Amino acid sequence: MEPQVESGSSIVRPMFKKSKRKWLYAGAAVVIVLGVGIPVTMHRLKGGSTISGPMIYTVGYGDIVQSVSASGTIQPAATADLNFADSTSTVTQINVKIGQTVKKGQVLAVEDDSTTRAALLAAQAGVAQAQAGLASAQANLTKTMQGATSSQILADKQAIQKAQLSLQSAQQSYQTQLAASKDTSSQQQKVLSAQTQLQTDEQAASNTSSVSAAQLQLSNDQQTLANDQQTLKNLQAQYGTVTEAQVQQAWQQYQYENSLSQKWLQGQQVGQNPYGAADTLDQTTYTTLSTEYSALQKAEQAVTTDQQAIQRDQQSLTSAQTSLAQAKQRVVVDQQNLKLVEQQVNDTSSTQQALATAQTQIQQDQLALQSAQDQLATDEQPPDAATVASAQASVSSAEANVQSAQDKLVTAQIAESQTKLIAPINGVVSQVNGQVGQTPSSGSKTGTTSSPFIEVVDTNPNDLQVQVQISESQIGEVQTGDPVSMTVAALPGKTYSGTITQIYPTPTTTSNVTQYTAVATVQDTTGQLKDGMTASVSIQTATASHVVTVPAIALQQEGSIEGVYVLDASGGTSGSGAQTGGPSGQGAGSKSSGGKSGQGGSGRGNGTSGGSAGRGNGSASGNVSGGFGGGGFRNGQTGGFSGRFTGGSLTNGLPKDVHFQPVQVGLFGTSEVQVTSGLQAGQKILVQLPAAAAASAAQSSARQFGGPGAGAARRLGGGGGKG
């Protein structure tokens, strides 16, 4: 891209730094060459010349703005192409038309979801079944890890107590038989005692109030458990599985959206809060999940409490039944003892046989007690490692089944959600390629080109952007964040601002011209910009404020050194009208700050000694090595100067109080150049050579380029060919 001069105080930086200066030097050459045409034909001065006011410029401070010009097309920042994931199902709804404005989240089209809905229900059932299997495996692992339950331990202890009672009864019977065998005189008294004991024990055995009360309490608690289990089942059917992690995630999402909404409100923004709807939705979602989770937890806690109460009731009932059974057993023992005593009274011969029977009963009861004690010891032992490992493996397998089922559920949920096309942005519908009753694929292709089912274009005027092409020689000057100004032919007199937001790293090459694409935002508060408008873009690449500046035409070059002609402090002027720069002082730059100094040196063209590259009619003689090249063409574009005048000093004809001062240059504006070193504010320089010096320069040009006319044409880039 060739440099283009713009209005204001900026000039586009060319492909190479020297090329930029050549354009500025070309302006200087216009003044010097054309300005001396008439004096050289009138007279030649043999001595020093008088310097008039208009030839002098007082160096001062100014502002420099450097920019790159390009063109591009206005376009929306976002375009959403929407397609159904399943191209074989039938479209059941199309809720929009081309040109219709839609909001983000709006349902645009729907296709038949009977298949995906069935798959979703099956996946949900699969998750429930897998979770039930996991719960069973976890319960089995808990049981294995904990060993026998408290109820089993209690039953074992009650069995020991029962065996101890039986043993005590047998021992008592044995002692009775032993005493009877020794003292037959007391048998009658024993009969009375046995009868009394039997009556006491019969009363205890007939008292079932404790058992009845325990049974009633157990029945009531079982009914409560059934009710609470049904409540839990109903809640689970209504809410499904709600975990603490889901509630926490909903809370965090609500907090996030709420913080965005509050920040927007605190920023005193105008218009509808863009986060309000999401904030309300997330709050509702969190409140619903929290309520459902609390209800499920409460129901589960009630079931657990009921189960514990039932366990206690069963223990109480077992204890009451054991006491009653023991009482009944004592009645049996008492009856047997009474009969025995009565028999002993009637037949003392059976005393020895009863004594032997009592001994046998003691032995049996001792064995029963030992068996009960061994069972309790076994149940109190911790589980073995193999059993625990097996139970843990079952839990791991059940967890894997749950994860697999949940993955299938997520897949099914995604498939179900993809049966609806939902607007991802606010915008306008630009394409609808399909009809209700057809499959999405039947209307999505035109020839070999695939089109979206629905396309939504972002029409927010604040979301517009422009893509511009920048040459490889200038792309290094452009950075993201650079300010941009632009105009469009359709809206004359209006200038829009923006910012470079993106620079593509990969270039494009067309006809051997390499360019890079940059993207800039467009701030259109009027809403007049339209998609597709062509924009002329100026990218501000560097600025320098309050820096030393000089007119571009004041720059000269002696040999390989770039500089200006400075009027010594003792020098004077004739007449008035000297030009003056900005006020003196210290300046500061932005981005470049004048820090990029130019490089002094002589340019080299393709001309040979004694001639000039390019076309011309004059013959050349002199000592110019590769003088100014012609305008020529570079890659089909107008060329600039490719060389500098290096034929000796231009001080011939200048007063003694004028000297050549080398300078370093920085940024280039439209007509001024930043000087980074070599000059100070307040110094006076020549912007136009005196007549004698101009005549000397013109004669030198005539010798070097074949006459003033041809020479001037060549120095201004008026010839042809490449320099």
Q: How many residues does the chain have?
A: 723
- Give the number of C-alpha atoms closer than 13 A to the C-alpha of residue 629, restricted to the C-beta side: 22
Closest residue by Cα to residue 603 from 569, 632, 570, 562:
562
CA distance 291 to 204: 54
Amino acid identity at 94: I
What residue segments make up the domains of the chain, in order of their start? Answer: 10-66+543-715, 79-112+419-456, 148-381
pLDDT digits (tens, 9 = 90+) for 604-614: 333 333 333 33
Closest residue by Cα to residue 488 from 546, 528, 447:
528
CA distance 660 to 564: 6
| Residue 11 dihedral angles phi and psi, to the nearest 5° | -140, 140
pLDDT digits (tens, 9 = 90+) for 50-60: 666 678 999 99
- Give the number of C-alpha atoms closer than 13 A to the C-alpha of residue 44, restricted to the C-beta side: 7
Is 242 or 519 the better-scoring residue by pLDDT? 519
Reading the block at residue 397, the tokens are 């397998």
* HEC sequence for 168-228: HHHHHHHHHHHHHHHCHHHHHHHHHHHHHHHHHHHHHHHCCHHHHHHHHHHHHHHHHHHHH
CA distance 711 to 700: 9
DSSP 688: S
pLDDT digits (tens, 9 = 90+) for 653-702: 677 888 999 999 998 887 889 999 999 999 999 987 766 565 655 555 44
**Contact predicate 660/556, CB 8 Å:** yes
Partners of 450 in the β-ladder: 445
pLDDT at 384: 78
SS3 493: coil
Amino acid identity at 613: A
SS3 674: strand
Architecture of domain 79-112+419-456: Beta Barrel (2.40)
pLDDT digits (tens, 9 = 90+) for 5-30: 333 333 333 333 444 444 444 444 44
Amino acid identity at 256: Y
The DSSP secondary structure of 249-269, one letter per residue, reads HHHHHHHHHHHHHHHHHHTT-
Reading the block at residue 270, the tokens are 């105008």
CA distance 67 to 4: 10
Amino acid identity at 367: L
Q: Greatest CA span in the chain, whole angstroms?
A: 181
Does the CA dihedral 190-192-196-199 come out positive or negative?
positive
pLDDT higher than 90, residue 262: no
Partners of 68 in the β-ladder: 539
pLDDT higher than 70, residue 128: yes
| Residue 80 dihedral angles phi and psi, to the nearest 5° | -105, 120
Closest residue by Cα to residue 603 from 549, 639, 636, 552:
639
| pTM for the whole structure | 0.41
User: What pLDDT band is residue 194 in, cutting at 50, 70 and 90?
Assistant: confident
CA distance 596 to 277: 52
